[in-house]
Structure 1
């Protein structure tokens, strides 16, 4: 406990799912946390719940809006004087293949999954560099960045782009002591995943149980599982590591199944 004592952490998409679990974990480790989301009602409710764990605030931000991204970092600096850590957890996952993805759908994936994180990083790293202080950025990626399923073409493409950006930023700012890492999260049991399974895959109430039968651990990962590795990368416990894109899943890339 206390690995993030007095650190200021901004979590995009921190009002639900994996992002919310990351915010909770960061608060438990002593951080002051600002979460962003598109919906004010959801965000304010999340911040109220998070406040039971520590200093938590909500800033409304649609990461598809570059100015909103810049404003979210500015609001964090105004409230706390600085940003020590950034987690890009917001994401957009609409189904689309190479053959049926529309330009509009593709652009929305780019806006949320790549452009927004880019400009959040620009603003947050800019604050770290101006102050001459170390910092940490963690980009929440996906195993689909390795290629993905046919119906995840624009999602896979944009998350693969973010993986490349992760390494680029890490290299660019290694001597500023700003560490930038990414986590390729695998199949995780979140509220959003439940909606996706029912909407796109005709899943029934027992989809989790059926999925668990096919997984080595006998269960899906949870948002809390994912939050643990993200908080580790935010903290000094991850040492000097930067430019790492970690596979966090039950599958092993490159094997036949």
Structure 2
């Protein structure tokens, strides 16, 4: 443990499971003094809190809190920020890890499905960033924000049309906000993650692609590095980008994947 987030407070949306939970645990291990997670399920939140508190056990006074919210509902993203500030007195870092990943092509995506993706993948990060940046500016304090985006923002598969549109929008928002608040010393970056091994991905593969129970082994065997992206490895990268060790970096959208956009075998 390097204490990269020593005495920092964080808000992590989507922090009750998968990648969001891995990020919250990594932050706790790296010396954060307060971690708030947001999710819809109270049962998942309780299990997540136990893991996060165990990860932060070495930090005196460490606190973890869960905010039960359906972020697709108006006002819930804003409430998550307000409750974090009320609990910890401030937000030093924000991670937007929650999002929608259901399928749809240009031709079969309904207005409702498109709106679901735009709400969870773009509007919610917009509102949490708005609240976090306002808190940082009001205190005259520096801060960091990391948005989980996707390699699909480069174009994506045909069945990810609404997802791709929303994630490309989040990439643009990340750069816009980073530029707007660079002199506030608020650093805002994005991570384009590729195919990642999470319980949520297993559910997605089975629901939308009829995957068998051994889908993960087959998928990993076909990858250049012999595995899919790992939540703990991505979490370490997120913590680094939130920390002072990432220096002056802001407005960067980093491809975190083993495939290279624009490169071809033939």
Normalising TM by the smaller chain, what interval?
A: over 0.9
1:47 corresponding residue in structure 2: 49
- Alignment gaps of 5+ in structure 2: 57-62
1:123-138 residue pairs with structure 2 within 5 A?
Answer: 123-138=131-146
Matched, 1:87 2:88: no
**Equivalent in the alignment of 1:224:** 232
Map 1:92-103; keep pairs closer than 5 Å: 92-103=100-111
Q: Which runs of 5+ in 1 are unaligned?
A: none
Q: Number of residue pairs matched?
A: 257
Query: What is aligned with 1:214?
Result: 222
How much does 1:204 deviate?
A: 1.0
Paired with 1:34 and 1:150, the residues of 2 have a C-alpha distance of 35
Q: Choose the corresponding residue for 2:38, options 36, 39, 43.
A: 36
How far apart are the structure 2 equivalents of 1:66 and 1:11? 18
Partners of 2:233 and 2:201 in 1: how far apart?
A: 15
User: How far did residue 164 of structure 1 move?
Assistant: 0.2
Partner of 2:4: 3
Q: Contact 2:25–2:51 at 8 Å: present in 1 too?
A: no
> In 2, Cα distance between the equivalents of 1:63 and 1:248?
26
> What TM-score, normalized to structure 2?
0.95
Contact 1:66/1:116 (8 A) holds in 2: no
TM-score (norm 1): 0.98
Question: What is aligned with 1:70?
Answer: 78
Q: Would the aligned equivalents of 1:183 and 1:247 in 2 still touch at CA under 8 Å?
A: yes
Superposed CA offset, 1:173-223 (max 9, x none): 000000000000000000000011111111112211111221111111111
The CA distance in 2 between the partners of 1:183 and 1:198, in whole Å, is: 26
8 Å Cα contact 1:167/1:244 also seen in 2: yes
Residue 144 of structure 1: aligned partner:
152
2:198 corresponds to: 190
Contact 2:72–2:124, Cα closer than 8 Å, also in 1: yes
Please, which moves more after superposition, 151-160 or 59-68? Answer: 59-68
* Conservation of the 8 A alpha-carbon contact between 2:148 and 2:193: yes
Q: Which residue of 2 aligns with 1:20?
A: 21
Cα deviation, residue 46, structure 1? 1.2
CA contact (8 A) 1:170 1:243 kept: yes
Contact in 1 for aligned 2:12/2:95 (Cα 8 Å):
yes
Counterparts of 2:31 and 2:176, CA distance in 1: 30
